[in-house]
């Protein structure tokens, strides 16, 4: 009986070779993966092999996830500390500028108090040069004086302490600057103390 089955298979193979095609799995009694029919021990319910997850792959995924989270946390930390450093620098710079501005004010008062006949003296010339140097250093640091006289009153930049009636000036125009105001990188360090007309 076994000889007959073998002869049948040989005959089918020979016929297929003559026709130039391979014998089908159905004809040879084998599955497509090479196992014999009826051998379903290696296959799952739906005909697919059940693969057990590799513990190494699971560990790699876990470590990759932990690394990505750590990198994201570090990046957030770096950005936060950069922001805090920048804010501390701005606060520190603003504090120093607020302390230096009264010195500039006193220089201006001193220069204004020099009598007309002594304005060409070496002392007055020296004070003028030191004052210019101080103003230049402040400008290079980003400190600029606020324009006030002749400008419309702006509460963001001006602090009105006096009011006058003057027909030659428009409504809410700054008539006089009593104390110069300054900005540092477009933020007000000190408001201009002004007198407003009409």
The residues, ordered by sequence, that sit 6+ positions from 115 with a Cβ below 8 Å of its Cβ are: none
Which tens digit of pLDDT belongs to each residue from 159-198?
Answer: 999 888 887 887 889 999 999 999 998 889 999 999 999 7
Number of H helices, E strands in the chain: 4, 6
**Cβ atoms within 10 Å, residue 1:** 5
Look at residue 9 in the predicted model and tell me its pLDDT: 54
CA–centroid distance for 5 within its chain: 78
Look at residue 40 in the predicted model and tell me its pLDDT: 46
**Cβ atoms within 10 Å, residue 97:** 19
CA–centroid distance for 107 within its chain: 41
Which tens digit of pLDDT belongs to each residue from 98-126?
Answer: 999 999 999 999 999 999 888 889 999 99
């Amino acid at each position: 009986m076994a000889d007959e089955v073998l002869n049948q298979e040989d005959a089918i193979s020979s016929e297929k070779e003559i026709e130039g095609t391979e014998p089908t799995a159905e004809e040879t009694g084998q599955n497509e993966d090479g196992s014999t029919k009826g051998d379903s021990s290696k296959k799952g319910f739906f005909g697919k092999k059940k693969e057990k997850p590799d513990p190494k792959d699971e560990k790699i995924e876990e470590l990759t996830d932990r690394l990505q989270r750590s990198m994201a946390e570090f990046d957030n930390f770096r950005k936060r500390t950069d922001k805090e450093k920048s804010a501390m620098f701005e606060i520190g710079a603003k504090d120093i500028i607020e302390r230096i501005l009264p010195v500039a004010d006193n220089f201006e008062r001193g220069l204004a108090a020099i009598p007309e006949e002594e304005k060409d003296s070496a002392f007055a010339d020296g004070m003028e040069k030191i004052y210019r140097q101080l103003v230049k250093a402040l400008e290079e640091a980003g400190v600029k004086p606020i324009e006030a006289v002749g400008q419309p009153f702006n509460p963001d930049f001006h602090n009105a302490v006096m009011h006058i009636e003057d027909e030659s000036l428009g409504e809410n125009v700054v008539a006089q600057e009593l104390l110069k105001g300054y900005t540092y990188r477009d933020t007000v360090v000190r408001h201009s103390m002004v007198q407003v007309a009409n």
